[in-house]
Structure 1
Amino acid sequence: MTFDRRDYSNDVLKQLYRELLRPRLIEEKMLILLRQGRVSKWFSGIGQEAVSVGSTLALNSEEYILPLHRNLGVFTSRGVPLGQLFAQWQGKKTGFTKGRDRSFHFGSHAHHIVGMISHLGPQLAVADGIALADLLDEKPRVTLTYSGDGGASEGDFHEALNVAAVWQLPVIFLVENNGYGLSTPSSEQFRVKSFIDKGPAYGIEAVQVDGNNVLEVYHLIKTLAEDLRQRPRPVLVEALTFRMRGHEEASGTKYVPAELLQEWAQKDPVEAYEKWVLAEGIVSETARIQLRESIKQEIEDALQEADAAPLPLPDPAEELADMYAPLATDNEHLADNNAQTPNAEHDASSSEDQAPTLRFIDAISAGLRQSMERYPELVLMGQDIAEYGGVFKITEGFVQEFGKGRVRNTPLCESAIVGAGLGLSIRGKKAMVEMQFADFVTCGFNQIVNNLAKSYYRWGQNADVVVRLPTGAGTAAGPFHSQSTEAWFTHVPGLKVVYPSNPHDAKGLLCAAFEDPNPVLYFEHKLLYRGLSGPVPAAYYTTPIGQAALVTEGHELSVITYGLGVHWAKAACDELGIMADILDLRTLLPWDTEAVARTTRKTGRVLILHEDTLTGGLGGEIAAWLAEHCFSSLDAPVRRVASLDTAVPFAPILEASFLPQQRLREQLRALRAY
């Protein structure tokens, strides 16, 4: 292996040596601790240290890095305290995740590191969002994100590179090509000769580097970063390297030919660089020995600190509280809420009597516009939302008001755009992602349920992202533009799910969603867009997330519903002459248990109605809760009315049969007569 020092000083070369040696010595110790049962799992990076160390030292300290399993050198080179790092691996309370996640599944703002999740690909899109924030703030910074050769087969790799290329984001996508995805060799992972062949297909530069030569990695990344800060754009870097141990220790290396292991052993990045700095007189033998002893002592001291740290004690209250970032309680927001928010019973205020009448769709647009004015850090992203105004024209004219930097057309890359929303949050911004139809959220599902939802619980990073989802049937749009998808997300802690039924709440809940620092899924029924109008105060206001509203009052029975179901219930009860409490949940996660209990105790008869299919719908959860908590108040079995357990049919006559309106009338009669 040849090392070209170029004009780098001895101090730089010594720093590279010191930081290259540290993760190797830590790993050697961890492998011992693994055999002793003092750490539970280990993903070895022995043989790949030069990639992590060289690339990390090449960046400025305020530039974010998004590493993977085998990038211990990123953390050590950024000065992450070893005691806290070891506590993280031991599942201790003092670890970065308080014992809630393992290995490198965490981030640290102090060190500008965003850790991975097990799904490997999503962090690439998060890097896009971080870089976009820097670009919008006109900060000359780059973002570095890693991918393995196996993980690069995931769709997230394609989406992230494509978005970065279209938006010219200053991201370095560094692929550590070690020849295997766990045990599957590259020949069974992809057909291209090398990853640099992929760059031109995305319209981006691609370069290859000897990933075992720390000096070459350092020089390449440093050169690229300096250039990208001045001319923002993405670059794909392929680092050729090899891991000398298994994917993780339990898997071993039996699948690797012995001669291949021998070949790469001759290219050991630590040994090779150490021999060179000794031969060049950059480091003396005495200094080499002293450095090793110093690092080993540092490791022992940190292990004592971690060993002495307490294990987490189960505290359900703390666990539940840490699923969500706390809401701001500044006086300005409190004043807005107190002045403008209707109470839980949804009484009309005197100011609302004077409010202009808006269509449902215009109320959403108004809430979006006022939130853009209120939060200059808010960025809107979605397909066709810029000049075209979105397929439903909700953002029409927004580009002229707020500019293309904040109102961004996106490629058809739902996963990457949701991930970019998290990246924007990491840099302190807010994001809105519009799904063209709620059905298409499946393409961004992983990012929502595994990245956005769990980020705050895992390492304290909130995801200040609102995902808007035009939803529902009734327009003869068939099975891929009509689904009710809300129940997919009401099962996921860390998310909030809202679903307005009227123009007032459409604006108020949307504004509240932007105030909330947590990921909020905002469902808006397409059939209400231009089919429902109502009073909407012109001033900014919020409708509280988590509070239901009593739409009508009656003594015979209670209908618990949301969205279009509110209007179905009112029409059916009026038609049948039933005096009913109709409770509009408005928020589906967390739903208002107190309001549900209150109306149940009042009438003793409950019907739960939703457009979603019956099996697995939110109604089943509410019915189970009522049976557990309000059984003594019930005078009849809880009834559920929902759509058929089929896909949404296209033909209007079939769609009408699919939807629950006719079954609703039958069940209302039966419940009243019980």
Structure 2
Amino acid sequence: MIFDRKDKSNSILLDLYKRLLYPRLIEEKMLILLRQGRIGKWFSGIGQEAIAVGSTLAMHASEYILPMHRNLGVFTSRDIPLSKLMSQWQGKVNGFTKGRDRSFHFGTQDYKIIGMISHLGPQMALADGIALADLIENKEAATLVFTGEGATSEGDFHEAVNVAAVWNLPVIFLIENNGYGLSTPVNEQFKCEHLVDKAIGYGIEGIQIDGNNILEVYDTLVDLAVKIRKDPRPVLVECLTFRMRGHEEASGIKYVPEELINEWSKKDPVKNFEAYLIKQGVLDVEMIHQIKADFKKTIESEIESAFEQDEPIADANTELLDMYHPDAINPVRPSQPLVEMRYIDAITDGLRIGMQKYQNLVLMGQDIAEYGGAFKITEGFVNEFGKARVRNTPICESAIVGAGLGLSINGYKAIVEMQFADFVTCGFNQIINNLAKTHYRWGEKADVVIRMPTGAGTGAGPFHSQSNEAWFTKTPGLKIVYPAFPDDAKGLLLGAIDDPNPVIYFEHKYLYRSLSGFVPKGYYNQEIGKANILKTGTQFSIITYGLGVHWALSYLNDNPERSVTLIDLRSLQPWDKDAVAGAVQSTGRVLILHEDTLTCGFGAELAAWIAEHCFEFLDAPVMRCASLDTAIPMNKVLENDFLAKSRLADVAKRLLEY
């Protein structure tokens, strides 16, 4: 291993050594604690410290780093107290996640570190969003994100690197190529000779370095960071290293050939740098003993203090409240006159007002810029707000949702348009495991709205017509709205933009140009979680939302003799339990109507809640009217038979006859 000190002073070299040694000694202590049974799990980074330490020290303290399992050196090089880290690992109340998550699965704005989630890969898209915020702000800043050689096989890697390349984002994508993804060797992970060669396909710079050489890592990253701060663009860095321990300690390393272990043991980053500094006269044996003794004393003290800290106290109300960032939003009632507009135009109006109100709001989606989106909702926005804030994206839903979260972490707001709600499956992981859980895990907002053009009625078939709200209503941390009228479409959209929590905003495609109504001009918002009681009656109640509201109104128009309470939920998470309970009490009979399929549709949750909480008021079973448990057919005859509307009159008749 060849070290080149360049113009570094002895004091700088000594500091690098201490920074490199400290996480190694912590790791060795953790292995002892593991054998003693005092900790339950550990992902060892022994042998990879030079990457985490060297790259972290190359970044400014104000710049974000997104590390992974084996990057203890990132945290120690940012001077996070070991007692705080140990509290996190042990699930103590004063850890970063209050005992709700483990290991390095946390973030901290104080130290500008955003931890990973277990799925690997998604953190790369967050880095894109963080860097995008810096780019829009004209900040000279770089973002560093880690990934492993195994995660380069994931779509998240491709999407994030491609977006960064297309948008010239100042991101350093650092691959720790340590030889194995759990037990799978690199020759079973990828076919290319070197991972750095992937950079060519994205049209970006790629550099391969010795990840065990602290000076090479540090100097390379310093140079790259300086360059991309001035000339924003992404860079791919492959750091060659080796995982000397198991994936986690319980896995062992029996699958690793002994000759490989022996070969890489000779490349130990700590021992080699230590030997080099002795030759340079920076260190001697006595100094090394003293440094280690001091560190071990500190480590012992910090760890024991963490063991003495309090365990969390389980409190259901606290847990439930912490799923969401406090919104502190007061509903703003309309103050300007009404104007008639179509449902689609109300959405456009809400978006425009949101963009005017929040200069840090960024719109992202496929074809939304000059083209105006598949449905022309954002037509003209580029001229009004500029391409920095109205961004065409590659076809990569996962990366764009992740970038939205990154924008939020770095002080921005984001609206992501799914071209069709059906396509959200490609961004599912980011929504369910990143957006929804971020605040609960480490107290950070996820200020992202996802627009979902949804629903059937246009003969668009199985992949452009689904009502998939039930995929999300069961996920704590998300808010779900589904407006049925133009004024609600605008008010709920503005309410969603105001809210610092992730909001899934369903907008029905069939209503875009077929429905008009009177909408207040100017800014107002509607509180998420409040239903609208459209009619009151005595015979039974219809509880519905979205296009189901208009089916119900059509049914009542055709059956004027019916005395019905009609509730438009408008919001599905949270939903208005008081309004539903009041309707049950006043009529005693309930019909739940929705466009989604019957089995496990949101109506099932409503029916279960009514049966549990309002049973004494019921004069008949709760009945559901929903679409068939099939995919949505394209042919209009088949589609009409599929939709719940075709069975509404029959279900209502059965309910009244019970």
> TM over 0.5: same fold?
yes
Tell me the CA shift for residue 328 of structure 1: 3.2
- The equivalent of 1:584 in structure 2 is 568
Q: Contact 1:386 / 1:407 at 8 angstroms: preserved in 2?
A: yes
- The equivalent of 1:60 in structure 2 is 60
- The equivalent of 1:34 in structure 2 is 34
Q: Distance in 1 between matches of 2:240 and 2:251?
A: 22
**SS in structure 2 of the partner of residue 468 of structure 1:** strand
Q: Distance in 2 between matches of 1:491 and 1:34?
A: 37
Which residue of the other structure, out of 358, 368, 381, is the alignment partner of 1:398?
Answer: 381
Equivalent positions of 1:146-295 (< 5 A) are 146-295=146-295
**SS in structure 2 of the partner of residue 212 of structure 1:** coil
One-letter amino acid of the structure 1 residue matched with residue 574 of structure 2: P
Q: Is 1:561 equivalent to 2:553 in the alignment?
A: no
One-letter amino acid of the structure 1 residue matched with residue 277 of structure 2: V
TM-score normalized by the length of structure 1: 0.97
One-letter amino acid of the structure 1 residue matched with residue 333 of structure 2: A
Which residue of the other structure, out of 421, 427, 442, is the alignment partner of 2:410?
Answer: 427
Deviation sequence 1:440-463 (CA, Å, 0-9, x none): 000000000000000000011111
Tell me the CA shift for residue 291 of structure 1: 1.2
Q: Contact 1:143 / 1:171 at 8 angstroms: preserved in 2?
A: yes
Which residue of the other structure, out of 317, 334, 345, is the alignment partner of 1:362?
Answer: 345
- The equivalent of 2:420 in structure 1 is 437
- The equivalent of 2:584 in structure 1 is 600
Q: Distance in 1 between matches of 2:552 and 2:230?
A: 60
Q: Distance in 1 between matches of 2:367 and 2:187?
A: 39
**SS in structure 1 of the partner of residue 533 of structure 2:** strand
Q: Distance in 2 between matches of 1:305 and 1:373?
A: 50
One-letter amino acid of the structure 2 residue matched with residue 33 of structure 1: L
Q: Contact 2:332 / 2:526 at 8 angstroms: preserved in 1?
A: no
Q: Is 1:548 equivalent to 2:542 in the alignment?
A: no
Show structure 1 runs of 5+ residues with no match.
341-350
Percent identity reads: 63
Deviation sequence 1:273-323 (CA, Å, 0-9, x none): 111111211123332222111111111111122011111111101100100
Q: Distance in 1 between matches of 2:480 and 2:11?
A: 54
Tell me the CA shift for residue 576 of structure 1: 2.1
Tell me the CA shift for residue 669 of structure 1: 1.4
**SS in structure 1 of the partner of residue 650 of structure 2:** helix
- The equivalent of 2:118 in structure 1 is 118
Q: Is 1:50 equivalent to 2:33 in the alignment?
A: no
Q: Distance in 2 between matches of 1:167 and 1:328?
A: 34
**SS in structure 2 of the partner of residue 636 of structure 1:** coil
Q: Distance in 1 between matches of 2:616 and 2:543?
A: 18
Show structure 2 runs of 5+ residues with no match.
none
**SS in structure 1 of the partner of residue 428 of structure 2:** helix
Tell me the CA shift for residue 387 of structure 1: 0.3
RMSD: 0.9
Q: Which stretch shows the higher mean deviation, 5-14 or 171-180?
A: 5-14
Q: Which stretch shows the higher mean deviation, 549-558 or 444-453?
A: 549-558
Q: Contact 1:434 / 1:467 at 8 angstroms: preserved in 2?
A: yes
Q: Distance in 1 between matches of 2:622 and 2:288?
A: 75
Q: Contact 2:333 / 2:525 at 8 angstroms: preserved in 1?
A: no
Deviation sequence 1:137-161 (CA, Å, 0-9, x none): 0100000000100011100000000
Which residue of the other structure, out of 404, 427, 431, is the alignment partner of 1:448?
Answer: 431
Tell me the CA shift for residue 661 of structure 1: 1.1
Tell me the CA shift for residue 574 of structure 1: 2.1
Deviation sequence 1:337-394 (CA, Å, 0-9, x none): 2533xxxxxxxxxx68x40001000000000000000000000000000000001000
**SS in structure 2 of the partner of residue 305 of structure 1:** helix
- The equivalent of 1:618 in structure 2 is 602
TM-score normalized by the length of structure 2: 0.99
Which residue of the other structure, out of 382, 385, 404, is the alignment partner of 2:368?
Answer: 385
Deviation sequence 1:606-636 (CA, Å, 0-9, x none): 0000000000100001100111000000000
One-letter amino acid of the structure 2 residue matched with residue 651 of structure 1: N
Q: Is 1:339 equivalent to 2:333 in the alignment?
A: yes
Q: Is 1:638 equivalent to 2:632 in the alignment?
A: no
Q: Distance in 1 between matches of 2:47 and 2:502?
A: 39
- The equivalent of 1:487 in structure 2 is 470
Q: Distance in 1 between matches of 2:590 and 2:480?
A: 23
One-letter amino acid of the structure 1 residue matched with residue 650 of structure 2: E
Deviation sequence 1:189-230 (CA, Å, 0-9, x none): 110001111101001000000000011000000000000111
**SS in structure 2 of the partner of residue 324 of structure 1:** coil
**SS in structure 1 of the partner of residue 488 of structure 2:** helix
Q: Distance in 2 between matches of 1:622 and 1:325?
A: 25
How many residues get paired?
Answer: 657
Q: Contact 2:332 / 2:524 at 8 angstroms: preserved in 1?
A: no
Q: Distance in 2 between matches of 1:535 and 1:447?
A: 36
Q: Contact 1:38 / 1:90 at 8 angstroms: preserved in 2?
A: no
One-letter amino acid of the structure 2 residue matched with residue 275 of structure 1: A
Deviation sequence 1:474-510 (CA, Å, 0-9, x none): 1000100001110000010000000000000000000
Q: Contact 2:346 / 2:487 at 8 angstroms: preserved in 1?
A: yes
Q: Distance in 1 between matches of 2:413 and 2:328?
A: 14
Q: Distance in 1 between matches of 2:406 and 2:185?
A: 32
Q: Contact 1:383 / 1:411 at 8 angstroms: preserved in 2?
A: yes
